[in-house]
Amino acid sequence: GESVGLHLPTLSVQEGDNSIINCAYSNSASDYFIWYKQESGKGPQFIIDIRSNMDKRQGQRVTVLLNKTVKHLSLQIAATQPGDSAVYFCAEIDAGGTSYGKLTFGQGTILTVHP
């Protein structure tokens, strides 16, 4: 759904803890999902992606879970480090949509990792 005008939720964790960031998406036709990390004053960076025919995908220290029934996506970061502090956004693509590569961004979460 729209996040215009809404301030981002925050998550504070201690270094070494695991972090879980959640995202609800709106389009049941979306078939590709991406998590991005955005550091202050920079553009988003790709973290991990998942297709709608999968429930889980793992990367280095990160895992993405997809629950299509409730249209929910989560990003798990293991052994969170101070360098992980950033804003995290989920994004969805509807491959059947009219625009090539058009992303719809979720609300985002500010992650702060305390040493």
Q: Which residues bind other proteins (CB under 8 A)?
A: 3-8, 32, 34, 36, 41-46, 49, 89, 93, 95, 99-108, 110
Token pair listed for 114: 């305390």
What is 53-113 written as a DSSP string? T-SEEE-SSEEEEEETTTTEEEEEESS--GGG-EEEEEEEE-TTSSSTT-EEE---EEEEE
- Closest to other proteins by CB, 76 or 107: 107
- Closest to other proteins by CB, 66 or 93: 93
Pairing verdict, β 72-77 and 103-105: unpaired
Least separation in angstroms between residue 64's CB and other proteins is: 14
- Closest to other proteins by CB, 44 or 80: 44
Phi, psi torsion values for 37, nearest 5 degrees? -115, 130
- Closest to other proteins by CB, 9 or 16: 9
